[in-house]
Homo-oligomer: A and B are copies of this chain.
Amino acid sequence: MGGDHAPAAPVAGALLALAELADTLDIQLVGRPADIEAEMRRNGGVPAALASRVEIVPATEVIEMGEKPSAAIRGKRDSSMVVGLKLQAEGKSDGFVSAGNTGAQMAASTVVLRLHEGLTRPAIGTLLPSDRGIPVVMLDAGANVDCSPQELVQFARLGSVYAEDILGRANPSVALLSVGEEPEKGSLAVKEANQLLAASGLNFVGNIEGHDLAHGVSPRGPVDVAVCDGFTGNVVLKFYEAVAPIIFAQVQRHGAPASAVDAVAHLYDYEQYGGAPLLGVRGVSIIGHGKSTPEAVKNAIRVALLAVEHRMSEHIGRALRGTPANGANGNGGVPA
């Protein structure tokens, strides 16, 4: 029931996902049954062959986009957000996807699913398009504004498992976002994190700067994961989401054909990434964009499916206990 286009986009997206991925997927649609059923009819209903794959789970309340997260999840225990997450805690589902209130999803996921041992907060792992042609996992993208060096190292472990399990990157390279490539450049927290990461067993490639993030490559090679506090990450993400469309519009106004602009704009389209995992919770919670389209919801469900199939949460738990992240898949792997 969450998101700017709810329940239309989530229902339509779920039906798209079912049509494409039915062999591996059952879907629970959580919310007001009458609203959900109306949306299903509007989308032509569910084909008979897939009917057994869909279940409507009633939840009478809705957390609105502007509500304060903690008050909302305390006050609305029968919201689609809380009910949907509880299914997972009770073993009735394997993953949760929402395009609703991000803060409420973070808070409810933390309370209902709980965090892996040793974590105090979850982190949002987001994908940034890069000139390398494949995205960089940047985290934290906004869950934590003030971060300790130890938290930055935790983000590195979370991001490394994400890059391996969801993106299929073997032995992912992890970089630390800073203001200079030398280890002694950066804020106090970043300088200490650099030291800790060098001894972490991760495939740590050192500090990178803002331009390396855009290129997806640093002077020391490709960057799979970029670690930063949630303040920097959130500013960069929102800045990026605005700058690319601004430049596309400017180029088009100056005579570039729509075909050229569209071909590139596609690379920057959040829709294809679907959703950002909330990393660190014991389970799967995928944060979709508030303005998610059906296509974006479908892709967010795909991300959830990959996280479940690859046992990402389990691997994260192991990585946090100190097993090198690059061996978390049971594939062996050489520590950096």
Contacts and interface: CB of A to CB of B under 8 A. Distances in A.
Given A210-B238, A211-B238, A231-B232, A254 B243 contact: no
A310 to B, nearest CB: 30
B254 A263 contact: yes
B179 A145 contact: yes
A256 B250 contact: no
B242 A215 contact: yes
A308 interface: no
Interface string A19-57: 000000000000000000000000000000000000000
Given A131-B246, A230-B179, A243-B244, A235 B260 contact: no
A231 B264 CA distance: 30
A240 B243 contact: yes
A247 B264 contact: yes
A235 B254 CA distance: 29
A87 interface: no
A219 interface: no
Given A250-B264, A264-B250, A210 B256 contact: no
Contacts of A210: 234-242
A251 B247 CA distance: 10
A242 B145 contact: no
A289 to B, nearest CB: 13
Interface string A251-262: 110111101110
Which of A190, A242, A259 is most buried by chain B, counting CB atoms within 10 A of its CB? Answer: A242
Given A251-B261, A251-B264, A257-B255, A239 B239 contact: yes
The count of identical subunits is 2
Nearest to A216: B246
Interface residues of A, number: 49
Interface string A160-190: 0000000000000000011100000011101
Nearest to A243: B214
A82 interface: no
Interface in A184-239: 186-188, 190, 209-215, 228, 230-232, 234-239
A3 interface: no
A153 to B, nearest CB: 18
29 contacts: A145-B179, A145-B188, A146-B188, A177-B235, A178-B235, A179-B235, A210-B236, A210-B238, A211-B238, A211-B239, A214-B246, A231-B232, A232-B232, A232-B235, A239-B239, A244-B247, A247-B248, A248-B251, A250-B267, A251-B251, A251-B256, A251-B261, A254-B259, A254-B260, A254-B261, A254-B264, A255-B260, A256-B256, A256-B260
Interface of A: 131, 142, 145-146, 177-179, 186-188, 190, 209-215, 228, 230-232, 234-244, 246-248, 250-252, 254-257, 259-261, 263-264, 267
Given A209-B234, A250-B267, A256-B256, 11 more contacts: A131-B246, A145-B188, A179-B231, A210-B237, A210-B242, A215-B242, A232-B232, A232-B235, A240-B243, A251-B256, A251-B260
